[in-house]
Amino acid sequence: MKTYKVGYLVGSLAKGSINRLLAKALVRLAPPGLQLVEIPIRELPLYSYDYDADYPPVARAFKQAIAEVDAVLFVTPEYNRSIPGALKNAIDWASRPWGKNSFARKPSGVIGTSPGAIGTAVAQQQLRGVLCFCNSPLMNTMEAYIQFRPGLIAEDGTVSDESTTEFLGNYMKELHLFIERVLIVLPREG
């Protein structure tokens, strides 16, 4: 069985991010055919097209990290009914300059958690719109809006609720199948 390398971006910069805990859980629950690696976004400066002629080293490294993975998983919180500015900034860096979009033809998935009952649904819909524009094939089913409560996910990524563990495990299996299907139709170049 082929193993696919999936880069994940955590949309929150907070040290105590519940979405970072969710990412740890997803790493633990990933099937054997997926290898997850974090692609950090914290050090990226604010994007401006003034950089397009000569990207700073941190942005070049970021784009290279995306180039080295088979797929991308976005783990996003919801800030004011939208995606966090840091995540949008990272997407802007990766999708520019014109003609060098790192997300084109790269399969992606979106997931997130929040204490609210709708568990990042609005942010995820907005993120899907941005990724659609970036020509990233998106896993549209299954959708995953996780309502977080204290103790749901431990620091090591262990999930305390059996039904949530099962749901997240199934999400990761579906992501694996989706990546496999997309890369059969749109194989990576080079």
Per-residue model confidence as pLDDT tens digits over 108-145: 999 999 999 898 999 999 999 999 999 999 999 889 99
CA distance 168 to 44: 29
Burial class (CB in 10 A: 0-12, 13-18, 19+), 159: buried
- Mean pLDDT, residues 36-54 taken together: 97
SS (H, E, C) the chain: CCCEEEEEEECCCCCCCHHHHHHHHHHHHCCCCEEEEECCCCCCCCCCHHHCCCCCHHHHHHHHHHHCCCEEEEECCCECCECCHHHHHHHHHHHCCCCCCCCCCCCEEEEEEECCCCCCHHHHHHHHHHHHHCCCCECCCCCCEEECCCCCECCCCCECCHHHHHHHHHHHHHHHHHHHHHHHHCCCCC
Q: Minimum mean pLDDT among 32-41, 79-88, 180-189: which range?
A: 180-189
- What is the tens place of the pLDDT at every residue in 63-81? 999 999 999 999 999 999 9
Token pair listed for 86:
């840091």
Instruction: Return the pLDDT at 190.
Output: 57
Instruction: Return the pLDDT at 142.
Output: 86
What is the model's pTM?
0.96
Q: Are 70 and 107 in contact (CB under 8 A)?
A: yes
pLDDT averaged over every residue in the chain: 96
- Mean pLDDT, residues 161-182 taken together: 97
User: Taking 90 as the threshold, does the pLDDT of residue 46 lie above it?
Assistant: yes
| Domains of the chain, earliest start first | 4-185 (3.40.50.360)
